[in-house]
Structure 1
Amino acid sequence: MIVAAAGSQQLPPAIVVPTPPLALQQAPEPPIVSDDTFDKALPPLSSDINAPLEPMTIVPEVVAPAVPPELAEPLPTLATFDTTPLVDVNVTDAKAPDIRYDTVQRGLGEIGLAGQFDGFSALKDGGGKAPNATVVSARAREDEALAVRLMKSLGYYDGTAVSTLEVIPGETARVRAIVSATPGKRYTLGSITVLAQPTTPPGLVESQLALKIGDPIDAARVQGAEANVALILPQQGYPFAKVGQRDVLLDDLAGTGAYTLPVDVGPRASFGTFTSEGRLAFGAEHVSVLTRFKPGELYDNRKVDDLRAGLIATGLFSTVSVEPVRTRNLNPDGTEQVNLLIEQERGPPRSLSVSGGYSTGQGIRLEGAFTHRNLFPPEGALIVTAVAGTQEQGASATFRRSNAGRRDKTVTFAAGANHSNYDAFDAFTTTVSGRISYDSTPIWQKKLTYAYGFELTGTNESVFDFGLGLRKRGSYFIAALPGQVGFDRSDSLLNPTKGYRLKLSLSPETSVRGAVRPYARVLIEASGYYPIGDSIVLAGRVRAGSIAGTGRDDLAPSRRYYGGGGGSVRGYGYQRLGPLDTQGNPVGGRSINEFALEARYRFGNYGIVPFIDGGNAYESSLPKGGDLRLGVGIGGRFYTNFGPVRVDVATPLNPRKGDGKVALYISIGQAF
């Protein structure tokens, strides 16, 4: 509320009218009727207050005109009225041309309001034409009021605006609409008063109210400062804080305003217990697993918002809310215990999903999955997956326990069968595996992640025998203990624009094929992202891997390293890089090195990405720096709320015999 008060103004002196001389005074005129005559004309009054009134004799001194007979008739009943609305008749000549007008604004540009005026202007919104000059004038009057509101929003409370229409010489159907604004003086804060209870730490409200004496009374800045108070107090232990209605008393002579803000901070609180109500997906005990705070900690609504986001991320609710509830129970430190009420409405737990992609060398790959997210509560999911593709077919069943004793900790057991038919090998594989992981999520992208588990694999594959000079089938039984550690300082999981990532994968394995042959697989990967301006990101990746402890030909072909493909060196077919057999087919290696550079240019929801990739796979256990195969290309991106859709086209710079000239890759997410 803003009240204008006159500042230190004096009332004007009283105006004294002199008395004329006696000679100029006129004698008073005699009364028209004397008092005695008037009293005698009054009827006598009875002393009995219950007596009836005496009849009054009416002397018709004035004769009223005769009433027309139609006015003497009784009014018709409401039921006889015709309630049909009048038809809006447009009397405008359809052949009459629209009037054109130019909009001119004066006075707002000097105080930085021209852009806002153009954005809300009724004249500008009209597009420079109107049916007639009256409409143009009405729009101009609306813009007068707009200009005044805009000036007041910056503290120009004495600002005025006036609009005029001018005829443009030589143009009969065109006028100029001019809105002239006069801002006047700008009011500033003369005093700042906060009416609030004491806080811990002292002066918390005042320190978060980013206003100081002498600041212009800018509406956006004042509202922003008040919003900051409403934001910070619940983060500092005051969940029920309320910012009241400000009051600004203006002094028009001094050009200042006395600002007063009432704030009800409420009790200082700590976290208590949980209560769940509604159609429950799981109880309060599992809710406590999703929290990142403990009972007794100082209340912070950011942690409450994080809990709400974690509940939503389970995918088990159609609606869910988290609200603080007062208990009026005081803790030893003087804070009030505040409980959290979880209102749940569980949603359908079953879902079907389909995904697919295409790349040269790997062909078309479609994957469908049925998921029951809460078959084994809480958050025990069963996932049945089927893969159909030109070169891969398979099925698997997975049990997954999400948030298993800890937020974002996942326990997984899976079993599946798969057939893969590529240039490098043709394999029928059965796998049983288990995994415990602590992963990043879109809600909480973690700096440090990890995973470890076991894998038992039986596979029958085609393998090239260099001694015989042909492919033959062989069976392998593999036991592995895969693990990985990741360190992520990027700003996004699916579309990073700055930062870097590091990942180390280590898998001790044993291959049983006539004899036990232990070995270890190691893979190191690093990627970085550097923004240039607002629309270009330079992205780079390097990767190196090694298998030590066994010979290449003792490894199952599916466990070897291969290069080439959409996630490797683009421009080459899937698994085409590395040693070749005598028939020109890849046989894989024990080491690999790769690099990639991209310039990601984005405009709106679209992007263009030129790139260069390089790398190769080697028979030796350590990668070499030479003999790199290079590919260049360009990609298109369509950015969605679940990540970018990627289409890349690449060509090899130094192809070998059998490599294609162009490779196409389609998938979701950036290449790295």
Structure 2
Amino acid sequence: MRGIWSLSVSGFSSGILAVAAAGMQQAQPPIAPVAAPVSAQQAAEPQIVPDPEFDKALPALSNDINAPLEPMLPAAQAPAETAPAELTQPLPALQGFDSTPLVDATFKDTKSPEIRYDTEVRGLDALKVKGQFNGLSALRGGKGKAANATVVAARGREDEALAIRLMKSLGYYDGTAVSTIEPIPGDTTKLRAIVSATPGKQYKLGTITVKAEPTTPPGLVESQLPLKVGDAIEADRVQGAEANVALILPQRGYPFTKVGQRDILLDDVTGLGDYTLPVDTGPRSSFGTFTTEGRLAFGAEHVSVLTRFKPGQLYDNRLTDDLRAALVATGLFSTVSVEPVRTGNINPDGTEQVNLLVKQERGKQRSLAVSGGYSTGQGVRLEGSFTNRNLFQPEGALIVTAVGGTQEQGASATFRRSNAGKRDRTVTLTASADRTSYDAYNALTATLSGKVSYDSTPLWQKKFSYAYGFELVGTNESVYDFGLGDRKRGTYFIVALPGQVLFDRSDSLLNPTKGYRLKLSVSPETSVRGAVQPYVRTLIEASGYYPIGSSIVLAGRVRAGSIDGTSRDDLAPSRRYYGGGGGSVRGYGYQRLGPLDPQGNPVGGRSLNEFALEARYRFGNYGIVPFFDGGNAYEGPIPKGTDLRYGAGIGGRFYTNFGPLRVDVATPLNPRKGDGKVALYISIGQAF
């Protein structure tokens, strides 16, 4: 190779170029040397450097790849004019290199112009997807403003892709879209961004093939796939059909159904697509037993009480979801899930037994609650309670309650067993002692009561519910004696067997906006005060709710009550009917409506009738409610339609996740002597 260098231009670097050039010409035939005269200058040039001397002149190599670079020439051969000292210094190590820029390269132009533009979409109107396009459009999202034309163009390209996706979702797989930007004639401050879409032909289903194992009944998968030949290949329709298969089959005994990935083979000549869907149905199954795991609130035996199915019944995941909802409704779990588990056991009917695994994570059992309210005539009332929801497993709660107020004080202890041997059945035992002081009566009362009920909850509202039970009451009360012309105290012992049925077609327990409710309460009772005096208390109530638009609800209620079988004066004052108050006829004090004694205090009656009308207007979490109420209590057992007392007012509502906070201000429209001019009511929940 060095022989080649001898033919090249003098100089070290030129020799390297000659090597490269010679290397590229090795395939050419050799060229014969040509003799040329040699000048004196050429004869004086030094000879080729011998190999040993050449190797000695090369700088030594270091094995350290991080070592600083060394100068290429020996010091003796360095040029006369040396570079600045900084350039001859070794480079610093990479980890110690200071990357701080010498000059701040950040450029901010607060006066940079802003481009405005209009957006126009063409070709999508016939497909009825323009609304979807506008909601997802990058051009629309920019609200007609951009930093420069490049940004507008980039948004246009995004909208091109969006238009193509929307067209494909409707079966227009050949659809194209292009965006252009043009000036607006006569307006130099604006541009027009145009997205033009060309859908092309719409592809339709040519064949439909389902790959699945045989089912019972035959063709179950195909029957639940609502697609037919000739349908447009629309994404929403196809995905909805596949979702229907995944939904229905677990309801028909196939809990382990898995819908696979579809395949659609398009033919651009015919415009048809061959659709194939693989479905793994899994075994046809029936319900088996229960197992539980985790931090348990209760065991598998109580789980079976909450079910609405029996072992051996064909599997239906709606019943599994129903069980999960019932578990959540107990309020005893922080998390809970129900999962079907294969067993491999085949039943005589050919189905596979599937057990349900209930994974529990026990939640907090203890809670404190406080509620309160105020109303004219009843004063302030505060109630606090402590609850241990699972003290007596399973679902045996202890509830201790204390009541304090200007006119009522008391305490009670309640044992409550939820889902007592049967789903949704609640057994309650309560012992209480109260002291009350109202205009109608003063009473010291002790009560022992029990109740069996089938109740609604905010999570599980029922159309039909009921309750029945007993009450043993001992009460010492002040009562006006018309024979004496003055008040005196009397002691009453009362045995009652109250019952109630409720038919509820409203849409909410605490804040209904539509539907109606019908309630009937009947309580056969006897008062033992020297002699046994049986009687019957009856109360019937109906309420309805009718929405007007999205923000106004018209609500109405009527109520009537009767006590038959005894005279009013033989009834304990606390068992009589009274009208007036926040849950009755607003504008009048608590229990102020009805017959009065010569001292101007209410004495109650044996019958009652009431009505109430409200217009509930809601805006956000707030509401305004004008209302009009009427009613009265009567001495006889049959309520009258005359001598009604009316009240009207307006209320405010603050809506929370546990119900509305209610503040009502009302005034009596035809007051009697002693009735106040304004009444105020504060509580939680609607009036009815």
TM-score range, shorter chain: 0.7 to 0.9
Distance (Å, rounded) in 1 between the aligned partners of 2:203 and 2:603: 80
What does residue 265 of structure 2 align with?
249
Match of residue 311, structure 1, among 306, 322, 327: 327
Distance 1:378 1:115, change over 3 A: same
What does residue 546 of structure 1 align with?
562
What does residue 491 of structure 2 align with?
475
Distance (Å, rounded) in 2 between the aligned partners of 1:89 and 1:425: 87
- Indicate conservation of the 8 Å contact 1:310/1:443, yes or no: no
- Indicate conservation of the 8 Å contact 2:648/2:669, yes or no: yes
What does residue 491 of structure 1 align with?
507
Shift of 1:473: 2.5
Match of residue 565, structure 1, among 565, 581, 586: 581
Q: More deviation in 573-582 or 179-188?
A: 179-188
Shift of 1:649: 3.2
Amino acid at match of 1:458: G
Residue 424 (str. 1) matches residue 440 (str. 2): yes
Tell which structure's C-alpha radius of gyration is larger: 2
* C-alpha distance after superposition, 1:429-482 (max 9, x if no partner): 221111111112334433332211111112222222223333332222222111
Shift of 1:75: 6.3
Tell me the SS of whatever aligns to 2:159. helix
Distance (Å, rounded) in 1 between the aligned partners of 2:355 and 2:387: 34
Tell me the SS of whatever aligns to 1:478. strand
* C-alpha distance after superposition, 1:557-594 (max 9, x if no partner): 11110112222222322212111122322111101112
- Indicate conservation of the 8 Å contact 1:102/1:176, yes or no: yes
Q: How many aligned residue pairs are there?
A: 615
Distance 1:641 1:89, change over 3 A: farther
- Indicate conservation of the 8 Å contact 2:204/2:231, yes or no: yes
* C-alpha distance after superposition, 1:95-150 (max 9, x if no partner): 22332233222222332222212222222222332222222222222122112112
Match of residue 107, structure 2, among 81, 85, 91: 91
What does residue 296 of structure 2 align with?
280
Residue 578 (str. 1) matches residue 594 (str. 2): yes
What does residue 156 of structure 2 align with?
140
Q: More deviation in 331-340 or 113-122?
A: 113-122
Residue 64 (str. 1) matches residue 16 (str. 2): yes
What does residue 294 of structure 1 align with?
310
The correspondence of residues 166-177 of structure 1 with structure 2, limited to 5 A, is: 166-169=182-185, 171-177=187-193
* C-alpha distance after superposition, 1:31-85 (max 9, x if no partner): xxxxxxxxxxxxxxxxxxxxxxxxx999679853399x99x99965897265969
Distance (Å, rounded) in 2 between the aligned partners of 1:459 and 1:84: 90
Amino acid at match of 2:113: P
Tell me the SS of whatever aligns to 2:667. strand
What does residue 80 of structure 1 align with?
94
Distance (Å, rounded) in 1 between the aligned partners of 2:326 and 2:415: 20
Distance 1:253 1:590, change over 3 A: same
Shift of 1:312: 1.5
What does residue 459 of structure 1 align with?
475
Normalising by structure 1, we get a TM-score of: 0.85
What does residue 40 of structure 1 align with?
none
Amino acid at match of 1:281: A
Shift of 1:88: 9.7
What does residue 23 of structure 2 align with?
none
- Indicate conservation of the 8 Å contact 1:317/1:344, yes or no: yes
What does residue 143 of structure 2 align with?
127
Tell me the SS of whatever aligns to 1:406. coil
Distance (Å, rounded) in 2 between the aligned partners of 1:163 and 1:76: 53
Shift of 1:183: 2.1
Amino acid at match of 2:491: S
Shift of 1:402: 0.8
What does residue 129 of structure 2 align with?
113
What does residue 15 of structure 1 align with?
none
Residue 448 (str. 1) matches residue 400 (str. 2): no
**RMSD, aligned CA:** 2.8
- Indicate conservation of the 8 Å contact 2:375/2:581, yes or no: yes
Q: More deviation in 575-584 or 374-383?
A: 575-584
Residue 652 (str. 1) matches residue 652 (str. 2): no
Distance 1:168 1:237, change over 3 A: same
What does residue 153 of structure 1 align with?
169
Shift of 1:665: 2.8
What does residue 384 of structure 1 align with?
400
- Indicate conservation of the 8 Å contact 1:425/1:558, yes or no: yes
Residue 519 (str. 1) matches residue 535 (str. 2): yes
Normalising by structure 2, we get a TM-score of: 0.84
- Indicate conservation of the 8 Å contact 1:358/1:666, yes or no: yes
Tell me the SS of whatever aligns to 1:373. strand
Shift of 1:277: 0.9
What does residue 387 of structure 2 align with?
371
Amino acid at match of 1:80: L
Shift of 1:414: 0.9
Amino acid at match of 2:94: T
Identity of aligned residues (%): 78
Gaps of 5+ in 2: 9-14, 20-57, 68-91
Shift of 1:403: 0.7
What does residue 428 of structure 2 align with?
412
What does residue 35 of structure 2 align with?
none
